[in-house]
């Protein structure tokens, strides 16, 4: 398909799109009444989500809101997440594919797990974990890349009631140690390595380094991913080979442990404004219902689909919408190990074509990269199997939206722009693809049952078109229940800005996600981005304090300030302003040391795009670093008002050095 200037011009002007008729006809949810249904019968309408699961014991109450903001959902209910994602599909779908895994090397065979295979694998590994000593409520950490053993291990944990805490494989050894220490986790599942752009990557070396920083005894299971390509680390004391452990349990079945609806299913650490990552706690009943419901309503997942989300399971997107949501619905979920540009820039489209994927759910940063690479890559493949497209993680600009709509969706697929967070467990603000008019750049209305608003600093709803803050004014089943071992921080992080914290009336409690937003006359919400000191790099959240403390840890660095600046592909990139101690030079070597310091403390994802050495940082009279100003400099948006600056002359100096 060549560029058609007329079509391009029409698309560029069009600011709203109706869902394609062919989609509407078959959509899981197509009756607009659903919004009123939830409004009129709230919270009772949430039974619809719970009904998607098999409960061992029916719940007594949909919502217990007697102790806000410590809400409880489906109280009295009992269930097991692994049973719901695996066992219950066996009768009807035992021979259907649960997980279709594609490794990065193109000459390697894909791995296909039917629900029956998945059942066997999950049971054997659950038995292996038990044999290792894992008991109900022990936190098991997983530091694994995109290999099938990751969802298998997650489901094995769920089966025995051991919450998992997955640490993104791209995070550093230090980050692993911090999270294992914070969760007091005695068990780790990791692997020897994985493939990245054609080369094997040493992962066990990094995992071992992390384990050195864990302050208690641990036991580690190591998956052999690389075979002969491995790095020959061998296994230390208290380290076991995954295949050996599983072989010992061949054919063992493990009865799924009965869990209360409110029992913890998993922990996921995410960045906040302070240096300490936050351990977000999700539960068995509420979370699983919520991700099953949103997978069905928003992603339109049906059991016979092949659903493809090329995110990493190490982030919440992968937990909710690669593993738990799709498997709860009994569909085929795909996993891809590598990057979208290896061996060529059409790898995603090659996979979509080969496996005839029905849905494709990715981040705007990926779409911007695809767009930059050119439409010839998607156009070289038959993508007609696609029925729905989705985006998540950051705002999508209308131009990228339209490119996705035309060149990937062939103007035949609705796009759902889904706003949510690690903390919300699942999607919150987005269109329903069989109902909603789409407006590129706007996530859409809050989902049925979700009371999201845009308010000013005083908590009053803003007029259409005015920027304000996003709030959520009623609880929802997928919400985080607390921050692990830290109820106080849970309240102070999310429930103070707009809540009356002395009240026990739930209507006085408002969840604050720390995003800026606008709302239009139709109630469509455009999310503008974080209003706290968090940077969104390629759809991933990084705390400025975490990065700053990594930089200050580098020898010779006296002070550092980190901000997010606009980036064509990443959305935002990390810009670091650094003051050195006397006697140190701001040269290439120092810059390399700083980049390395950040990679060691967090991971390559947090690597500064540029490091600016400066003799001083702009501060207010009270000594606070003026981040907004540094952001303006990074974005070259002019200097704003510098009158409250303690040291205004420094601004010009920084500005000049950035532009060198
Ligand atoms: C932050 C949450 C949700 C899974 C991936 C990220 C931003 C997320 C959108 C969207 C605009 C978005 C927000 C949010 N965000 N989705 N569709 N439009 N912004 O999860 O790491 O917890 O980050 O991502 O700023 O607060 P996360």
Q: Does the C-beta of 536 come closer than 6 Å to ligand 1? A: yes
Q: Does the C-beta of 296 come closer than 6 Å to ligand 1? A: no
Q: Does the C-beta of 526 come closer than 6 Å to ligand 1? A: no
Ligand 1 geometric centre to CA of 540 (Å): 8
Ligand 1 atom nearest to CA at 539: 6
Ligand 1 geometric centre to CA of 148 (Å): 26
Asked whether residue 656 carries a pLDDT value surpassing 80, the answer given is no
115-257 and 533-659 have identical folds: no
Asked whether residue 246 carries a pLDDT value surpassing 80, the answer given is yes
Q: What is the DSSP letter of 511?
A: B
Q: Does the C-beta of 319 come closer than 6 Å to ligand 1? A: no
The rounded distance, in Å, linking the Cα atoms of 425 and 428 is: 9
What's residue 144's pLDDT?
98
Ligand 1 geometric centre to CA of 513 (Å): 10
Ligand 1 geometric centre to CA of 413 (Å): 22
Asked whether residue 201 carries a pLDDT value surpassing 70, the answer given is yes
Segment 221-250 shows an average pLDDT of: 97
**551 band by pLDDT with thresholds 50, 70 and 90:** very high
Asked whether residue 2 carries a pLDDT value surpassing 50, the answer given is no
What's residue 635's pLDDT?
80
What's residue 640's pLDDT?
53
What's residue 643's pLDDT?
54
The DSSP result for 262-325, as a single string, is TSEEEEEEE--SSSSPEEEEEESHHHHHHHHHHHHHTS---TT-EEE--S-TTSHHHIIIIIIH
pLDDT, tens digit (0-9, with 9 covering 90-100), for 597-644: 999 999 999 999 999 999 888 887 777 888 888 888 788 765 555 555
Ligand 1 geometric centre to CA of 402 (Å): 20
Does CATH place domain 115-257 in 3.40.50.980? yes
- Please write down the long-range contacts of 343-350, taking CB distance under 8 Å and 24 or more positions apart: 343/106, 343/198, 344/377, 345/370, 345/373, 345/374, 345/377, 346/377, 346/378, 346/380, 346/381, 348/310, 349/377, 349/378, 349/380, 349/381, 349/383, 349/408, 350/381
What's residue 1's pLDDT?
42
What's residue 157's pLDDT?
99
What's residue 510's pLDDT?
98
What is the interface pTM, i.e. ipTM, of the complex?
0.99
**258 band by pLDDT with thresholds 50, 70 and 90:** very high
Q: Which residues contact 409 (CB under 8 A, 6 or more apart)?
A: 383, 386, 389, 415
Asked whether residue 387 carries a pLDDT value surpassing 70, the answer given is yes
- The residue to mutate among 396, 428, 539, 564, having the most atoms of ligand 1 within 8 angstroms of its beta carbon, is 539
Ligand 1 geometric centre to CA of 394 (Å): 5
Ligand 1 geometric centre to CA of 476 (Å): 17
**79 band by pLDDT with thresholds 50, 70 and 90:** very high
Does CATH place domain 533-659 in 3.30.2350.10? no
Ligand 1 atom nearest to CA at 430: 17
Q: Does the C-beta of 418 come closer than 6 Å to ligand 1? A: yes
Ligand 1 geometric centre to CA of 125 (Å): 33
Ligand 1 geometric centre to CA of 536 (Å): 8
Asked whether residue 373 carries a pLDDT value surpassing 50, the answer given is yes
Mean pLDDT of the chain, nearest integer: 94
Q: Does the C-beta of 392 come closer than 6 Å to ligand 1? A: yes
What's residue 646's pLDDT?
59
Lowest mean pLDDT, pick from 28-37, 143-152, 198-207, 627-636: 627-636
Contact 387, 359 (CB under 8 A): yes
What's residue 12's pLDDT?
84
Ligand 1 atom nearest to CA at 513: 26
Q: Does the C-beta of 529 come closer than 6 Å to ligand 1? A: yes
Nearest CA owner, ligand 1 atom 19: 394
Ligand 1 atom nearest to CA at 420: 3
- The residue to mutate among 271, 400, 431, 527, having the most atoms of ligand 1 within 8 angstroms of its beta carbon, is 527
What's residue 659's pLDDT?
61
Segment 30-34 shows an average pLDDT of: 97
What's residue 416's pLDDT?
98
Ligand 1 geometric centre to CA of 652 (Å): 34
Which of the pair, 1 or 577, is modelled with greater confidence? 577
- The residue to mutate among 420, 470, 524, 564, having the most atoms of ligand 1 within 8 angstroms of its beta carbon, is 420
**411 band by pLDDT with thresholds 50, 70 and 90:** very high
What's residue 628's pLDDT?
80
Q: Does the C-beta of 530 come closer than 6 Å to ligand 1? A: yes
Asked whether residue 66 carries a pLDDT value surpassing 60, the answer given is yes
Q: Which residues contact 651 (CB under 8 A, 6 or more apart)?
A: 618, 629, 633, 639, 642, 645
Lowest mean pLDDT, pick from 128-132, 205-209, 273-277: 273-277
What's residue 654's pLDDT?
74
Q: Does the C-beta of 318 come closer than 6 Å to ligand 1? A: no
Ligand 1 geometric centre to CA of 393 (Å): 4
Domain ranges of the chain: 115-257, 533-659
Lowest mean pLDDT, pick from 87-101, 166-180, 194-208, 565-579: 565-579
**3 band by pLDDT with thresholds 50, 70 and 90:** low
- The residue to mutate among 361, 393, 445, having the most atoms of ligand 1 within 8 angstroms of its beta carbon, is 393
Q: What does each C-alpha distance from 90 to 74, 97, 120, 155, 195 come to in angstroms?
A: 26, 11, 11, 15, 33
Ligand 1 geometric centre to CA of 419 (Å): 6
**Which residue has tokens 């986790």?**
185
Which of the pair, 619 or 385, is modelled with greater confidence? 385
Asked whether residue 535 carries a pLDDT value surpassing 80, the answer given is yes
The rounded distance, in Å, linking the Cα atoms of 244 and 265 is: 27
Q: Which residues contact 582 (CB under 8 A, 6 or more apart)?
A: none
Q: Does the C-beta of 512 come closer than 6 Å to ligand 1? A: no
The rounded distance, in Å, linking the Cα atoms of 278 and 657 is: 35
**119 band by pLDDT with thresholds 50, 70 and 90:** very high
Task: Read off the pTM.
Answer: 0.94
Ligand 1 geometric centre to CA of 390 (Å): 13
**Which residue has tokens 């919150």?**
428
Q: Does the C-beta of 395 come closer than 6 Å to ligand 1? A: yes
Segment 496-519 shows an average pLDDT of: 96
What's residue 649's pLDDT?
73
């Amino acid at each position: 398909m060549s560029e058609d200037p007329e079509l391009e011009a029409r698309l560029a002007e069009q600011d709203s799109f109706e869902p394609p008729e062919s989609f509407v006809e078959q959509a899981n949810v197509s009756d607009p009444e659903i919004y009123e249904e939830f409004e009129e019968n709230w919270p009772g309408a949430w039974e619809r989500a719970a009904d998607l699961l098999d409960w061992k014991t029916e719940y007594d109450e949909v919502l217990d809101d007697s102790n806000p903001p410590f809400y409880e959902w489906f109280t009295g209910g009992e269930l097991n997440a692994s049973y719901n994602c695996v066992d219950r599909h066996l009768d009807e779908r035992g021979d259907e594919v649960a997980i279709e895994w594609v490794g990065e090397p193109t000459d390697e065979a894909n791995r296909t797990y039917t629900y029956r295979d998945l059942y066997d694998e999950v049971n054997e590994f659950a038995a292996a974990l038990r044999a290792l000593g894992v008991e109900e409520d022990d936190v098991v950490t997983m530091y694994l890349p995109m290999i099938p053993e990751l969802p298998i291990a997650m489901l094995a944990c769920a089966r025995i009631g051991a919450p998992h805490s997955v640490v993104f494989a791209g995070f550093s050894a230090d980050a692993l140690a911090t999270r294992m220490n914070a969760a007091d986790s005695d068990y780790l599942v990791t692997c020897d390595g994985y493939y990245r752009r054609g080369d094997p990557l040493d992962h066990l070396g990094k995992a071992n380094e992390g384990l050195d920083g864990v302050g208690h005894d641990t036991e580690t299971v190591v998956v052999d991913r690389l075979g002969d390509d491995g790095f020959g680390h061998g296994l230390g004391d208290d380290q076991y080979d995954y295949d050996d452990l599983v072989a010992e349990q061949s054919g063992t079945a493990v009865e799924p442990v009965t869990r209360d609806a409110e029992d913890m299913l998993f922990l996921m650490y995410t960045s906040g404004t302070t240096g300490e990552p936050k351990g977000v706690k999700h539960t068995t009943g509420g979370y699983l219902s919520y991700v099953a419901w949103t997978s069905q309503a928003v992603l339109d997942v049906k059991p016979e689909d092949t659903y493809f989300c090329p995110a990493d399971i190490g982030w919440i997107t992968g937990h909710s919408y690669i593993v738990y949501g799709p498997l709860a619905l009994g569909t085929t979920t795909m996993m891809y190990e590598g990057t979208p540009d290896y061996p060529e820039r059409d790898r995603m489209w090659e996979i979509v074509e080969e496996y005839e994927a029905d849905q494709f759910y990715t981040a705007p940063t990926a779409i911007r990269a695809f767009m930059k690479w050119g439409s010839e890559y998607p156009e070289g493949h038959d993508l007609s199997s696609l029925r729905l497209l989705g985006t998540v993680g950051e705002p999508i600009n209308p131009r990228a939206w339209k490119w996705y709509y035309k060149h990937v969706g062939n103007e035949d697929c609705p796009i759902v722009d889904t706003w949510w967070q690690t903390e919300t467990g699942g999607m919150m603000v987005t269109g329903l693809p069989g109902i909603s008019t789409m407006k590129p750049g706007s996530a859409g209305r809050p989902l049925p049952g979700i009371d999201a608003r845009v308010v000013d600093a005083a908590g009053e709803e803003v007029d259409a078109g005015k920027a304000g803050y996003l709030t959520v004014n009623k609880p929802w089943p997928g919400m985080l229940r607390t921050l692990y071992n830290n109820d106080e921080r849970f309240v102070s992080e999310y429930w103070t800005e707009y809540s009356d914290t002395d009240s026990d009336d739930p209507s006085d409690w408002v969840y604050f996600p720390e995003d800026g937003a606008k709302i239009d006359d139709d109630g469509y919400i455009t999310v503008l981005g974080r209003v706290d000191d968090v940077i969104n790099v390629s759809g991933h959240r990084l705390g400025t304090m975490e990065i700053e403390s990594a930089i200050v840890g580098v020898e010779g660095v006296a002070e550092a300030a980190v901000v997010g600046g606009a980036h064509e592909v990443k959305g935002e990139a990390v810009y670091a302003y650094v003051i050195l101690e006397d006697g140190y030079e701001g040269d290439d070597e120092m810059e390399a040391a700083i980049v390395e310091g950040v990679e060691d403390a967090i991971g390559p994802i947090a690597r500064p795009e540029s490091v600016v050495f400066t003799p001083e940082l702009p501060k207010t009279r009270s000594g606070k670093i003026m981040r907004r100003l540094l952001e303006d400099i990074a974005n070259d948006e002019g200097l704003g008002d510098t009158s409250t600056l303690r040291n205004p002359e420094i601004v010009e100096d920084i500005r000049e050095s950035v532009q060198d």
